Chains A and B, each alone.
Chain A
Amino acid sequence: MSRLASIYRELRPWLKLLGRRRGRLALGALLMAITAFAGIGLLALSGWFITATALTGMLLAAGVAASLDVYVPGGGIRFFALTRTVARYLERVYNHDSVLRLLADLRGGMFRVLVRLDGQALSKRRASEWLNRLTADIDTLDSLYLRLLAPPLVALLAIAGLTLLIGVFLPWAGALAGGLLLGLWMLLTLGQARLGMAASQRRVASLDRLRSRAIEHVQGLAELSAYTSLAAHRRRLDEHQQALYADQRLLGRRAALGNALVGLGVGVTLLAVLWLASLAYAGGVLSGPLVVMMPLAVLALAETLGLLPSAFTQLGATRAAARRLNALGAAQGAIDDPKQPAALDSATPRLAFEAVSLRYPGALQPALEQVSLCLEAGQRLALLGASGAGKSSLAQLATRLIDPQVGRVTLDDQPLAELALHEVRGCVGLLTQQGELFDDSLAANLRLGAPQASDSQLWQALATVELEVWAQQAQGLATRVGEGGQQLSGGQARRLCLARLLLAEPRIVILDEPFAGLDAALAERIAARLDHWLAGRSLLLLCHQRQGQPLATLGVSDWTQLAAGRVVASKHT
């Protein structure tokens, strides 16, 4: 029972999400139930009808006057046949619509969780395979209703209906059938879930392990073949495949067991009902047509029960997906907005790092150790250091993409965590190294920085980074930038990101390698325009080294040097 409770706990957030569309889902289940009942009705009534006609025919043949109303049952049979077809079609269309609505809810909800995660949690999970798995997990959960909720519910309803149908004429036969079928239902749901739980929970993880070995094998082809260790690595890959397939084999066999059980269980129930009905007929308490109707109604139930075994054998996979997504939502790496945020007084506040330390989970060495640094209002400071020295970590701290583990980051002596998130990020602007662009138009990408900006403002920003001519030659502001900005060269993409930052008008500007990949003359021209724009703002310029940077043009004379997460030298005038 405690196991059931823990499954329920893990699925509860998702069941709650389903609950928001309660009415819709109930109607979908009702359509499923109508389909099931029409199927039972069709077979049961047909059996009844044939038997009634046969017995009446025999009486007529024997010269006994007898009559049978053929029109009502005939109409009933046609009604059930049509209802079954129409209800099944409607059910499929309606329920797929529901599932797709749920998918939209899940995607939107999951994205809301993701945008609250901090840089640490995100950087750990940046790999696109992880994103693919996230989507797959969401897709697994959207089948929760169609595979795991509605079918067992409808099966229960059908069992209850059948019990009633038989019980009206022959109470103990109804009770026996109901009892047997309820037992079968338990075996097919709870039993199958238990049989498949461990192996189906491992499914995604085993698949991930196999995938990462396969990627290693392809990526490392050069080294593996040079060192003649292809075969050795291949053995590792094969081990993962064996483990995966051992689980699949187990699950397949257990699902097959459940499927075989459906036929057997329904057959045994049919036999029991047939036996009791026959005894009742012999005892004169049951008419012939009803004797036939009962087993045939039981037979029609097999289709409804047949959906259960494979769905429930894989319950563990749904559970594991829910657990992964729950963990993501509960990640301690979430950035929270303060309940009662403080306010900033000055337009351009002073940014200070006070003895901050930071260590990424899983990293062998700390990213920052006891770093203190201050950027006065209007100051322009270069932050120097090799890649991995800690520059980008400081930039992430200043924009509250990460919170420090030790020390604090302040704006005008107020800790960032006490300021409203939108105020921090509105005040401190960051041009990251990756420069993320979205698969959308130039205008849409620029307006991320300033949703209200007019077209002429966008053109002006493009002119500042010398993309104006290029954009005019392309499709203007409607030019698509492609997935991740693929349609643009690396240099164009960086300049576009810079233009976007300019439009956002931050007071404190942090630029991470803004001129990487640009030729020196272009860098100088852009720097000259930036110098003008920077009047009254503060600047933190992150770069490898002083050489080759347009520092003079930007008016940057102060610098601080970082190495291995520590400040090693600085010059302030």
Chain B
Amino acid sequence: MGPQDAALTPRRWLGRLAARQRRLIGLSMGAGLCVGLATIVQMALIAGWLSALLVDDAEPAALAGLGVALIVVLALRAAAQWAQEVAGQEASLRIRQAARSELLAHIEALGPVRLGGRHSAALGGQLVEQVEALDGYFARFLPQLRLAVAIPAVIAVLVLWLDWLAAIFLLLAAPMIPLFMALVGIGAERLNRQQFAAVSRLAGHFLDRVRGITTLQLFNRAEQASAEVHAAADDYRRLSMRTLRLAFLSSAVLEFFAAVAIAVLAIYIGFGLLGYIDYGPSPQLTLFSGLLILLLAPEFFQPLRTLSQHYHDRAAALGAADALVALLNVPLAKGTARRQPSDGQSGVSLDGVSVTFAGRGRVLGPLDLTIAPGECVALVGPSGAGKSTLLQLIAGFVDSDTGRVTVPAGEVAWMDQRPLLIHGSLADNLRLAAPEASDADIERALEQAGLGELLTELPAGIDTALGERGAGLSGGQAQRLALARVFLSGASLVLLDEPTASVDDDTQMALIEALKALTAAGRTLVIATHHPALMGMAGRVVRLENGRRIDEVMP
């Protein structure tokens, strides 16, 4: 593994992932080769049996040995086939696990700010669907890729030894194998691309109508819209059938050669055995060699047909890798400023800091700010002035390019307009801030945040389950829950980004009272806000404009 270079391509990433499970993928390939060899032996035993019976007039009882051998080979072949699939799957499971870890680690390292432009639900979906889309490539396609060359080669050599003229029939097809693969590949790739575009258009149409379903109901358009959904899906059918007719042709070519090869060989062998062909090795053909060649002919093409079936796995993996590598290529631009813990205190000191975002230039600084332990500072200014960025810098989500940042070591308490609500109980949600907290601690924190009344109404108390994204909680309740987290956490430094925006007046007043209690408890508060009451409770108001401090007012 080399150093992580910026020019990570989807293919290179897939290669790197495969390299980590080289042994399992190798095992899968090895087992696949055993399947191929066992098949050859099986065919030889069948041909041998028939030849002994019909040509050498052997008694059926004398063939029992061959029968036992056939059973052994069949069992071996089944075992090898099982091992091939299981090893491939295990490799794929481990690789997907590793890929997801790598992506999560990268996302965590990027932090919330540099990810900002991306839709979090879409990104979460990517982490699941697109990583899962790598499955077939590692489990089936990669092992089959080598087998598609190796097994036909072994068969060709064997047939060459049996009858070189028959081998030539097979080998005539051999130079065409790369052509087949290209044909199938191009077909599959185009199929996949066009199909993907059409599918997402169709899905988009469907989602669009479902999202607007209330409007359709309100305007009495339900029946008409249902017919439209059907019509759109039918249009999609007509469109994709045009592509499919062509795409299926490429695999039909492969089928055609496989079928024709059997037919041609059967007829060649038949005429050879009749003695109609005097040329080359034909007079030496026997029932055994003839039958074996016939039985091996389909097996010569089988690995290629299997590969062509798995070709869409490759296209799907490349498509997914494309999107995932784009995420991995978002650089972890670390600032050059020194960041050091303040000595056991909760104070913050920023000396000559500045923050630059790619494409937006400098959004903060140069700026100095010292906040004493226990202080309550309000950051004010028009939107875009750099208030949030300043908070993010203190929290460590972004780095300063210059100067020195001194902040308390360990956790800080954080609260913004959209609190995180996880699928689980109220207690689970609070314990995000303090995993060791007792039930009593949690109840106290909820009371302090003004959720005591709600708690008494809930039969299950703090074990009440919240739905996904906090379904069941109103916006104000969600915000109070985030505040309860602040109370529960022992963090001495509390960072709040517009905590009262987008909640009703009652909640606003309750939040302000609670924040006063936090200050009284000796915590250090830094609040970005537009709210006059919050500015009023602050010990100091720092005004920002265009990323610079323009004013400092001591009320």
Chain A positions near chain B (C-beta within 8 angstroms): 42-43, 45-47, 49-58, 60-61, 68, 70, 73-74, 77-78, 80-82, 84-85, 88-89, 92-93, 96-97, 100-101, 103-105, 107-108, 111-112, 114-117, 119, 122, 124, 126-129, 131-132, 134-135, 207, 209-230, 232-234, 237, 241, 245, 248-249, 252-253, 255-257, 259-261, 263-264, 267-268, 270-271, 274-275, 278-279, 281-282, 288, 291-292, 295-296, 299, 362-365, 386-388, 399, 401, 421-422, 425-426, 429-430, 432, 434, 436-439, 448-449, 483-484, 500, 504
Docked Cα-Cα span, A422 to B418, in Å, equals 39
Contact at A216–B207, with CB atoms within 8 Å?
A: no
Give chain A residues whose Cβ lies under 8 Å from the Cβ of B49. Answer: 274, 278
Closest 5 CB pairs of A and B: A215-B124, A108-B230, A220-B420, A104-B233, A226-B414
| B174 contacts chain A at the CB level, 8 A cutoff | no
Contact at A256–B274, with CB atoms within 8 Å?
A: no
Chain B residue at smallest Cβ distance from A230? B108
> Contact string, B237-278, partner A, CB cutoff 8 A, digits 1/0?
100110011001101100110011011011101110111000
Give chain A residues whose Cβ lies under 8 Å from the Cβ of B127. Answer: 211, 214, 218
User: Looking at chain B's contact residues, is the secondary structure mostly helix, strand, loop, or mixed?
Assistant: helix
Docked Cα-Cα span, A97 to B229, in Å, equals 18
Contact at A101–B414, with CB atoms within 8 Å?
A: no
Give chain B residues whose Cβ lies under 8 Å from the Cβ of A55. Answer: 54, 287
Q: List 22 A-B contacts (CB under 8 A).
A: A42-B262, A49-B266, A89-B249, A92-B244, A100-B236, A211-B124, A211-B129, A215-B120, A220-B422, A221-B111, A223-B415, A223-B420, A226-B413, A227-B434, A230-B108, A234-B104, A248-B89, A260-B82, A263-B74, A279-B60, A388-B475, A401-B214
Chain A residue at smallest Cβ distance from B57? A282
Measured between C-beta atoms, what is the minimum distance from B334 to chain A in Å?
15
Measured between C-beta atoms, what is the minimum distance from B433 to chain A in Å?
5
Residue from B115, B233, B270, B469 having most chain A Cβ neighbours under 10 A: B270
> Contact string, B124-144, partner A, CB cutoff 8 A, digits 1/0?
110111001000000100000
Give chain A residues whose Cβ lies under 8 Å from the Cβ of B229. Answer: 107-108, 111
Contact at B468–A56, with CB atoms within 8 Å?
A: no
Docked Cα-Cα span, A441 to B81, in Å, equals 56
Give chain B residues whose Cβ lies under 8 Å from the Cβ of A222. Answer: 112, 395, 397, 414, 416, 420
Contact at B53–A291, with CB atoms within 8 Å?
A: yes
Measured between C-beta atoms, what is the minimum distance from B267 to chain A in Å?
5
| B220 contacts chain A at the CB level, 8 A cutoff | yes
Chain B positions near chain A (C-beta within 8 angstroms): 42, 46, 49-50, 53-55, 59-60, 63, 67, 70-71, 74-75, 77-79, 81-82, 85-86, 89-90, 93, 96-97, 100, 104, 107-108, 111-112, 115, 120-121, 123-125, 127-129, 132, 139, 203-223, 225-227, 229-230, 232-234, 236-237, 240-241, 244-245, 248-249, 251-252, 255-256, 259-260, 262-263, 265-267, 269-271, 273-275, 286-287, 290-291, 294-295, 298, 395-397, 410-416, 418-420, 422-423, 432-435, 454, 457-458, 464, 467-469, 471-477, 482, 485, 489, 491, 495, 504-506
Contact of A53 with B395 at beta-carbon distance under 8 Å, contacts A224-B420, A241-B100 already known: no
Docked Cα-Cα span, A267 to B55, in Å, equals 23
Give chain A residues whose Cβ lies under 8 Å from the Cβ of B489. Answer: 227
Given known contacts A77-B262, A89-B252, A132-B203, what 20 new A-B pairs fall within 8 Å (CB)?
A49-B267, A50-B273, A50-B290, A53-B269, A70-B274, A103-B237, A112-B223, A128-B121, A132-B207, A135-B207, A222-B397, A225-B108, A259-B82, A268-B71, A271-B74, A274-B67, A281-B60, A364-B454, A430-B218, A448-B219
Docked Cα-Cα span, A556 to B178, in Å, equals 78
Contact at B216–A115, with CB atoms within 8 Å?
A: yes
Contact at B212–A207, with CB atoms within 8 Å?
A: no
Contact at A229–B435, with CB atoms within 8 Å?
A: yes
Contact of A53 with B212 at beta-carbon distance under 8 Å, contacts A81-B262, A129-B125, A256-B82 already known: no
Contact at A107–B233, with CB atoms within 8 Å?
A: yes
Give chain B residues whose Cβ lies under 8 Å from the Cβ of A58. Answer: 55
Give chain A residues whose Cβ lies under 8 Å from the Cβ of B270. Answer: 49-50, 52-53, 70, 73-74
Contact of A401 with B81 at beta-carbon distance under 8 Å, contacts A362-B472, A386-B506 already known: no
Contact at A282–B397, with CB atoms within 8 Å?
A: no
Contact of A253 with B217 at beta-carbon distance under 8 Å, contacts A51-B54, A93-B245, A275-B67 already known: no
Give chain A residues whose Cβ lies under 8 Å from the Cβ of B294. Answer: 46-47, 50
Choice from A61, A228, A282 contacting B410 with Cβ under 8 Å: A228
Docked Cα-Cα span, A47 to B225, in Å, equals 59
Give chain B residues whose Cβ lies under 8 Å from the Cβ of A224. Answer: 420, 432
Give chain A residues whose Cβ lies under 8 Å from the Cβ of B125. Answer: 129, 132, 211, 214-215
Chain B residue at smallest Cβ distance from A429? B218
Measured between C-beta atoms, what is the minimum distance from A351 to chain B in Å?
15
Docked Cα-Cα span, A249 to B92, in Å, equals 10
Contact at A131–B211, with CB atoms within 8 Å?
A: yes
Contact at B269–A50, with CB atoms within 8 Å?
A: yes
Contact at A81–B260, with CB atoms within 8 Å?
A: yes
Give chain B residues whose Cβ lies under 8 Å from the Cβ of A438. Answer: 208-209, 212, 215
Contact at A270–B212, with CB atoms within 8 Å?
A: no
Chain B residue at smallest Cβ distance from A79? B263
Contact at A115–B226, with CB atoms within 8 Å?
A: yes
Choice from B55, B60, B256, B271 contacting A85 with Cβ under 8 Å: B256
Contact at A93–B241, with CB atoms within 8 Å?
A: yes
Docked Cα-Cα span, A448 to B215, in Å, equals 9
